[in-house]
Every structure is written in C-alpha cells, then in structure tokens.
Structure 1
Amino acid sequence: MMERGPEPRSVDAATITDLAAFVRDIAQPCLPVVVRGLCRNWPVVTAAIRSSAALVAYLARFDAGRTAEAFVGDPAIAGHYAYGKDLAGFNFVRESLRFGDALTRIVAAADAPETESVYLGSLPTDAYLPGFAAENILPIVPATARPRIWIGTASSVACHYDTFDNLACVVAGTRRFTLYPPDAIGQLYVGPIDHTMAGQPISLAANAPPGDPRYPNVATARARAMVVDLAPGDALYMPKLWWHSVEATAPFNVLVNYWWDAFAAGPDAPYTAMLLSMIAIAERPPAERAAWRAFFDHYVFRPEGHPLAHLPEAQHGILGPLGQGNYGRIRAWVMKMLRGG
C-alpha cells in the first residue's frame, strides 16, 4: 500500500445547502472535495451504524428481486480485482445472482474473509431497490442524478477515472480513495480502452509495487496523489477525469454514488469528441498534429479567452453562447458533415 499523501479540501456539510451552492463552491473549481457528514442522517446510514444485520434488513425492504452481475474472487486475490496474466482475462469470475442472494453471500464472506470476496457494483437503486432514493435524499444533486449502490467485502478497485462528476457517499464500512489529477495520465500506464473490467480504462501502475521496472515514471504521479479515508456518512466529490483507486477496508462495505455532468450544455459528451478526434487526427504527421492543437486551443480550450473577442458579440455567429440556439446549430452542421453533406 502506498504511503499516505495529503487530503483533498474538506468542507462542512452544513455550508452546502442546495444544488446551486454545490455547483458554485464544490464543482466549479474541478478539484476533489470531502464533505464530512453529508449523508449521516440517511436512514440507511443509521441502520448501518446500528449493525450489519440492521443494514441488510433495511435493504431487503426494497429488494425488487432482480438479477445482478457479481465479481467473485478467490481468496488468493484478497479482494484485489484486476487483469489476469498478460491482460488476457481477469483474476475474478462474474456470476449472475439475485440481489438478495448476493447480499447474503457478501455477508457470509465478510464473516469468513479466508473464503472468497464478493462485490456488486454500480446497481441503479431505482431498478434494484425501488423506494430507496425517496428515503435517502440528497438535495444538492440534480433530480436527474439517480443513486447507484456498491456492496461488497473488503476489496481494492483498480485506479480509473469517470467521464461524469461523481459524488460518492459511504454508507457502511470504510473507504480509502487515492486520487491523481487528470494530467497524471501519462505516468499511470493506462491499459486498453476497449478491454476493461467495468467499462473504464485502468492504470496498470498505480497499485504496482514501488520500483516496478515496467513503470519507471509512476513515482512522479504518486508524489502528487491525494489520499482520504471516509467513514459512514462522509462523501467525496470527484470531478470528471480525476483518477482514483478505491479500497473498501472493512469486512462489509456499502457505498452510494451519483454520476452526472454538472456543466453539460446538451447530450454530447467530451469523451465522444475525443474518440472522434483520435480517428481524425491521432495518426497524422507530428507537424500537422501540432497545427491542429493550435486550432483546438484557440477555439475549444480558449486559454486567451473567446476566439472572437475582438468582434462585437452580434458578429460571433455560431460561436456565440451555446444556450442561445448555437448548440443546435453547431450540432446540425457537424451531423451534416459526418453524413458527407
């Protein structure tokens, strides 16, 4: 395990009263923030603090009886879910289990850690636990951001990123998050983007032993890492593209999270634009790529401000505010180009 680093900024949950305050004070700077006690008053947290049995009974009230995919690991992996040898497969198996049966199996494994590790990840509570969200309310996220639940024995989830803003709330057990900034990507030795454990590419180096000769530059990333431990009721906000390893360090652990895009102007995602750019630009000559980088900086990243700041706003055309109809105009233009029009 890596040495403990600095913690992200912490704020008092009482200071974050609504969605507007959250976006302004927490999301806008695009830095991780710990909100201690944010969901301490949730009924599910109250049940978890009372006992594991009380928590299981609470969740069972909402169980819709649906089948979920569980990660099941041999005792030898000690809950460290990862690739297998040569990235050909994985060191765990996937089993389809009814939610209630999976929960029973997780509790049994938590009581006998020398047996197996079992993990249920990213289950939408509206589908698997209907009614859960109505009792465990978080008014600082938009209504469209629906809660997902993660349940398992002690585990270590490989370092990855999300393409959405993420608010992770600990319900039971303890979680240690190790966070790396987006620009550490080149030092984290990222695996394939189309052969992943759970949808997102992972760092092959973040959890490697110190001094591993395959990853000589990972020490630079580790020197910038933030580490934070969360207890039941605590929450962590992680902006898009921040890398994070997640260790569930108690025998029985439950987390609820929310994903959403706090700054979306429409349905199109930056990741989609990046993939399209890969096929359009990535294998062109270096000098041409540098030229396109200059244009991307000027029109998209805008380090020197709006590209038409030298003109009156009335002459900005489709480079005017997206909310004034220009989103749709640009999108229609792009779709026409993609169709060959």
Structure 2
Amino acid sequence: MIETLRDEELAPFETHRRACRPVVIRGLAKKVQLFRAARALDTLIPYLLGFDSGASAQAFVGKPEIAGRYGYGDRTDGFNFARETMTLPVALARIGAAAATPGGDSIYLGSLPAEVHLPGLAEANPLPLAPPGVMPRLWIGSASQVACHYDRFDNLACVMAGTRRFTLYPPDAIGDLYVGPIDHTMAGQPVSLAAGAEAGDPRYPRFAAASARAETVTLEAGDALYLPKLWWHQVEATAPFNLLLNYWWDGFTAGTDSPYTAMLLAMTTLAERPAAERAAWRAFFDHYVFRPDGHPLAHLPPEAHGILRSTRENLGRIRAFVMQVLRGG
C-alpha cells in the first residue's frame, strides 16, 4: 500500500523517500496562494497571467474521438494528437473553452517551466518538501490521460486544481508493461503500450502480472504525491479543468552523469553478446555496481580501496578514465 501522510506530519517523509517508495501527502499545497487562486478559472487565469513572461509554449491538442487519451496513433511511428505553439493567454482561453465544452477537443500544456513562462510564481508559492533551488513545472489542461511512463528524476507532484488519478507500477514491472520505442516518444520518455490498451488485449499477455501489482491513488486539489525515479505512472486528470505543479530533482546524486547514460552505453556494449557472456558480466555488475553483498573491497581496510574508495575525487578519476577509453586513448 502507498504510504499516506498529512501536511501537519511530515517528519516521516525522509524515511519513506530513502526507501524509494511513493508517498501521498494530503493537503500539502493548501496554504499557498496558487491553490487559493485555482479554486475557479476566473480567479486562476488572471493570477497566472500576472506572472506571464510572454514566452510561447507548446500545447497538446486532441480531437474529440481520443477523449483526452494522449498516445500513439494506430502505429508507434505516429501520434493521435497535434502539437500547437501558442502564447499563455491563448492557451488558457482555449483550455477554459474546452473545460466548458464536454465532448469537444481536449488541450493541455505539459511540463511548462515556471522560471521561463511565469517568473516569480515559484517564489510567491514556496511549497513544503520542495528542494531548495528546484524550480517547478506546470501541467494545465482539460480532462486528459497521459500514457504510463517513468521519470529519470524524483518527482513531487502537487494538484492545485481538479483531480488526478495516478496508477503506479514498480520499476521491476518493466518487462510486463510492453514498453514502446525509447527514441520516438510523446514527451521524452518511453511509455507502456499495454497499460493504455483495452483490458485483456491478446498482444500483451504478460500485462496481467503488472496489473496485479498496480497501485492507484486519487489526489484532490491540495494533495501531493512523491514518486521516486523509475516508478511507472499513468496520470488521469479527471476534472473539466486541472492544474498540477511538479518538481523534478535527483535526490541521491553521485557523480556528474545520469545512471540512464550508463544504461545506454551498456546497451551498446552488452545487449547483443551471447547469453553466457551476458550472465558473466551480470555477475561483475552485481559485484562492482549493484553490490548486494556490500562493498567489493570490504575485506580490505578503507585505505587499500584505491579508486573504489568512496570519494568525490575518485568518482572524477573513474569518469576521466572512461572518457579516455571512449575517445580511443
């Protein structure tokens, strides 16, 4: 079960975060100005436009037949929606019109950087648990469903208006989710094809195992959800008008590179090798990287760990060696 906290009892949050488990925080955003302004469109729109920088944004626009379910088209080389560039006043007006016209076009602005489009909004609305210096992004639109995906960063998602339903799958469900292409995506991350299909779709027989492990949580306005990186999540905005503020950051940074970069490089070097050799490399990765039995040199004193001693300087030395090898040096 997903852990639930109240806004007045945040002390256990750090324990849950370090366990890399999702946490719901009820009422986290109810004291900020943006939440109060978002109780109605006729108060929210003027409030947002008071911060408008004039920068244009890209909106996702869907025809009535997709019913707000954004995804691929009939095949994975196309999409069932259009992208349109527009100013924030135009986008908000169209979102308001869509909210007032059930069954019509759907529209939403996704991942809108506050510091670019609404400078000063974040400073006027400091949120508990938001990491210092991390700027929020806004997700504004009519009723919609975003395909099941994961993020490469930790995520604090706060509902300011409307209702959001999250369906979560743990990272190790990836093999049962039938993930689409990683280089042709809707918004940067690959998505699960099975999670958005009709129940019992014969193309995805293993999805039943993932579905049995799914956890669903509904967030009302003012509620927040902490999602550790790599947790799969399908997000449904179920009200006629919805606004979500989210923060992305790497809560456990080590070194200058993303683990995703290491995975991509491993794909180019290991994925096509014979199964027996891959198994041998898996043992080495477990020993040196994933370390189920602890540090690989635990049998030696720390001063004898050499380049494997956990210091920032040694991380830089390893990275420099890797870069030299990749350059052919």
TM-score, normalization: structure 1?
0.94
Residues 78-135 of structure 1, C-alpha deviations (whole Å, 9 max, x = no match): 1000101121211110000111110110001100122200010001000100110011
Which residue of the partner structure matches residue 297 of structure 1? 286
Which residue of the partner structure matches residue 101 of structure 1? 90
Residues 266 and 142 from structure 1, CA distance in 2 versus in 1: closer, same or farther, beyond 3 angstroms? Answer: farther
Q: Percent identity?
A: 63
TM-score, normalization: structure 2?
0.98
Give the counterpart of 1:63 among 44, 49, 52.
52
Which residue of the partner structure matches residue 319 of structure 2? 331
Give the counterpart of 1:27 among 17, 28, 35.
17
**SS of residue paired to 1:177:** strand
Aligned partner letter, 2:101: A
2:257 matches 1:268: yes
Which residue of the partner structure matches residue 254 of structure 1? 243
Where does 1:35-114 land on structure 2 (aligned, <5 Å)? 35-49=25-39, 51-114=40-103
Give the counterpart of 1:223 among 212, 221, 224.
212
> Are the aligned partners of 1:265 and 1:322 in contact in 2 as well (CA < 8 Å)?
no
Which residue of the partner structure matches residue 148 of structure 1? 137
Instruction: Detail structure 1 runs of 4+ shifted over 4 Å in the superposition.
Output: none
**SS of residue paired to 1:162:** coil
Number of residues paired by the alignment? 329
Residues 124-176 of structure 1, C-alpha deviations (whole Å, 9 max, x = no match): 00010011001110242322321000000000000000000001000000000
Could you tell me how far apart the structure 1 residues matched to 2:78 and 2:296 are? 47
Where does 1:208-247 land on structure 2 (aligned, <5 Å)? 208-247=197-236
Could you tell me how far apart the structure 1 residues matched to 2:307 and 2:261 are? 21
Unaligned runs of 5+ in 2: none
Could you tell me how far apart the structure 2 residues matched to 1:210 and 1:75 are? 22
Could you tell me how far apart the structure 1 residues matched to 2:284 and 2:292 are? 12
Aligned partner letter, 1:163: R
- Shift in Å, 1:328: 1.0
Aligned partner letter, 2:26: R
Could you tell me how far apart the structure 1 residues matched to 2:311 and 2:258 are? 15
Could you tell me how far apart the structure 2 residues matched to 1:283 and 1:13 are? 49
Where does 1:269-288 land on structure 2 (aligned, <5 Å)? 269-288=258-277
Could you tell me how far apart the structure 2 residues matched to 1:119 and 1:45 are? 19
Could you tell me how far apart the structure 1 residues matched to 2:110 and 2:175 are? 27
2:153 matches 1:164: yes
Aligned partner letter, 2:49: A
Where does 1:130-145 land on structure 2 (aligned, <5 Å)? 130-145=119-134
Aligned partner letter, 1:237: Y
Which residue of the partner structure matches residue 170 of structure 2? 181
**SS of residue paired to 2:8:** helix
Unaligned runs of 5+ in 1: 1-6
**SS of residue paired to 2:145:** strand
**SS of residue paired to 2:321:** helix
- Shift in Å, 1:327: 1.2
Aligned partner letter, 2:210: A
**SS of residue paired to 1:296:** helix
> Are the aligned partners of 2:77 and 2:184 in contact in 1 as well (CA < 8 Å)?
no
Could you tell me how far apart the structure 1 residues matched to 2:282 and 2:317 are? 24
- Shift in Å, 1:322: 3.1
C-alpha RMSD over aligned residues: 1.1
Residues 155-202 of structure 1, C-alpha deviations (whole Å, 9 max, x = no match): 000000000000100000000000000000000000000000000000
Could you tell me how far apart the structure 2 residues matched to 1:132 and 1:286 are? 53
- Shift in Å, 1:278: 0.2
2:10 matches 1:16: yes
- Shift in Å, 1:211: 1.2
2:110 matches 1:116: no
> Are the aligned partners of 2:28 and 2:128 in contact in 1 as well (CA < 8 Å)?
no
